[in-house]
Chain A
């Protein structure tokens, strides 16, 4: 073949490039490069990012055999691996809890693991072994559907910046102490770990995402929070329990987040905020808050719309507002107190930066229309007001339009978009 080393295009590239290429291949193809030539032999074994899923082994109808093959593949790959492993990701619904997982995590804990993502099948939740808590170089941890039980001697992940727990079975105090013992924590996401009472103490936290049935949430110390997304699933008894307590949820959640830039509240968020004793006006100004998205706001509940009013009047730099209604039409139609908006809002109160407003799921009930009118009158730089009626409302649309056309607009540039669906 002549001087083959001259013709060879790729084997002599530096290891960092080979790693860059092999990391972008599915792990099965990366391992197979070991068969190519002597220079490629075991080069994949130095990869620091290992991502496994069910494509690692050929498909097979026999479920148990497939599981075995996959487990073998992962075990062999780990066994042949050399050097540190910085990222390990395993996402497949074909694997349930199996004893090998404990050994894999133990192996990884000795390999300076920095990022660990584990998402397995749904029928059996794995119990995370205690060796996970010895991975003291962890920067990012994502766990799906498992049981987490930190040992009492656990002092925290000193380097952890991202924690993402989805359907994880963990006790309230365990998760609280886990969060507070990770001093560098910046991203926290807790989904569907139900019935938690949370006091979040995270001085460096920037991004927070909470979703599920929480009994109580209190942002005790999150001064640097930039973005927050909360979806509160509330049952009747939780709501009752909250009514009886005297603490104000609004203050508990939004009392000390001065740098907040984006707020997203889903499901019963505004209802949750409305519960609790208000004790007069809030004094917090959210001078960085630019985007507010609120879903399932029921405009017939005066407390809820008071919450909305509070939020927008205390955010002088608000640029974008999105509200999705969920009004019980019958109850809402009997609305009284329609000058509520002007009454409660201190004048002159202008939304001087508000440019975009999106109202969705509008049923055309009086308070919704009053709110739109209120916004149009007080937003001098508004550019777009888009309104999407609720799909189930067919008859009221014409009336909505008639009212909309009448409203005065403070901004000459404002476009009103009525989006049919």
Chain B
């Protein structure tokens, strides 16, 4: 009688947990590995979910399938009770060797799954990456936007010095910021003004016929006013005119492109005058405030330097305007605008 050897293989009675990541994909994981994560463990115990595909446990959004794989690798190793501390440490050190992006995602995922030991080793790895690097290097590694102003970067630890150069720099930046703010404000004012354009057709006609003259006149007006203000020795005023000029320019060029020359020109000239009126009105209190602001702590020599610098800047901008204006006007009238106007009529 031959003895047939029959191998009887008992199927392993392992239980599995079903997990669903935020993108909808569902995975099956051995139970002892999955419940190593406190969050999953709690779900299983409290809600009984995870026992089948239809009742998969939804994982937090920060856990994507690739990262889930990493987390489960970690759990799979550490949930085995017999390992020595040295073994675990060696595993951890090899485990966290990955690129920074993955490391951050892993930290985030571990935190949402409440797996504290993994959060600890990943945080430590991230700290090691940050330590000793310059701010630029850190920004590059983590793709951080460099969105702090120079002044913000200087404070607070360096503010403790009474270094007059730093205070001068702070003051310059404060003025520049004020200028930018004024510019923004005027832009907004102008947009509001444009919408109130309700002239009749006759007005438009008459304007077109006298269009060139008006703009030139407007320009001269502006320059006259500019000169007068410069005599006042107030820097912010000149720069405000610069702002006015800038928005005028913006206006004209957009008008040309669109082809609605008549409207544009009309609008811009009227807004120009309205502009300057409002500019004058809003100005005077500011001028006073500004003067009061100047006098603390900086000695006259520095103040001179400051004044000179900002004036220089303003002058440079202002000198460009007349030429540029001419350029754009000629561009607009010769090339596009006239033919279109002709067509309309």
Contact = CB atoms under 8 A, between A and B. Distances in A.
A36 B160 contact: no
A22 B127 CA distance: 7
A40 interface: yes
Contacts of A29: 130-132
Contact of A7 (B128, B143, B153): B143
A11 B143 CA distance: 10
Contacts of A20: 119-120, 123
B304 to A, nearest CB: 32
Contacts of B142: 8-11
Given A8-B142, A16-B111, A35-B153, A21 B160 contact: no
A24 B135 contact: no
A11 B146 CA distance: 12
B130 A21 contact: yes
Nearest to A10: B142
B147 interface: yes
A68 to B, nearest CB: 11
Contacts of A7: 143
29 contacts: A4-B145, A7-B143, A8-B142, A9-B143, A11-B142, A11-B144, A14-B108, A14-B111, A17-B108, A17-B123, A20-B119, A20-B123, A21-B127, A24-B123, A24-B124, A29-B130, A29-B132, A33-B138, A35-B148, A36-B138, A36-B139, A36-B148, A37-B139, A37-B146, A37-B147, A37-B148, A39-B144, A41-B152, A80-B156
Given A25-B127, A76-B160, A32 B135 contact: yes
Interface of A: 1, 4, 7-11, 13-14, 16-17, 20-22, 24-26, 29, 31-33, 35-41, 72-73, 76, 80
Contacts of A22: 127
Contact of B101 (A9, A25, A36, A72): A9
Nearest to A14: B111
A21 B123 contact: yes
Contacts of A37: 139, 144-148
B100 interface: yes
Contacts of A9: 100-101, 104, 142-143
B118 to A, nearest CB: 11
Given A17-B107, A35-B148, A76-B156, 15 more contacts: A1-B145, A7-B143, A8-B144, A8-B145, A10-B104, A13-B111, A20-B120, A24-B128, A26-B131, A32-B135, A33-B130, A37-B145, A41-B148, A41-B152, A76-B160
A76 B155 CA distance: 11
Contacts of A41: 148, 152
Contacts of A33: 130, 138
A35 B119 contact: no
A33 to B, nearest CB: 7
Interface of B: 100-101, 104, 107-108, 111, 119-120, 123-124, 126-128, 130-132, 135, 138-139, 142-148, 152-153, 156-157, 160
A7 B140 CA distance: 11
A13 B138 CA distance: 16
Given A13-B107, A17-B107, A4 B127 contact: no
A179 B80 CA distance: 43
Shortest Cβ-Cβ A-B pairs, 6 listed: A24-B127, A20-B123, A7-B143, A37-B144, A9-B104, A10-B142
A7 to B, nearest CB: 4
A10 B144 contact: yes
Contacts, number: 81
Nearest to A5: B145
B126 A21 contact: yes
Nearest to A77: B157
Contact of B108 (A13, A32, A40, A76): A13
A36 B135 contact: yes
Contacts of B156: 76, 80
Nearest to B110: A17
A187 to B, nearest CB: 23
A24 B156 CA distance: 22
Contacts of B139: 36-37
A35 B135 contact: yes
Contacts of B147: 37-38
A35 B139 CA distance: 10
Nearest to A16: B111
Contact of B130 (A11, A25, A38, A76): A25
A14 B113 CA distance: 13
Interface centre among B120, B124, B144 (most CB of A within 10 A): B144
Nearest to A80: B156
A300 to B, nearest CB: 43
A9 B144 CA distance: 8
Nearest to B146: A37
A172 B317 CA distance: 79
Contacts of A13: 104, 107-108, 111
A38 B108 CA distance: 20
Nearest to A13: B108
A296 B142 CA distance: 58
Contacts of A4: 143, 145
Contacts of B120: 20
A29 B156 CA distance: 15
Contacts of B107: 13, 17
A31 B145 contact: no
Contacts of A36: 135, 138-139, 144, 148
Interface centre among A4, A36, A40, A76 (most CB of B within 10 A): A36
A40 B156 CA distance: 14
A4 B100 CA distance: 16
B144 A40 contact: yes
A17 to B, nearest CB: 5
A308 B143 CA distance: 66
B48 to A, nearest CB: 28
Nearest to B123: A20
Nearest to B127: A24
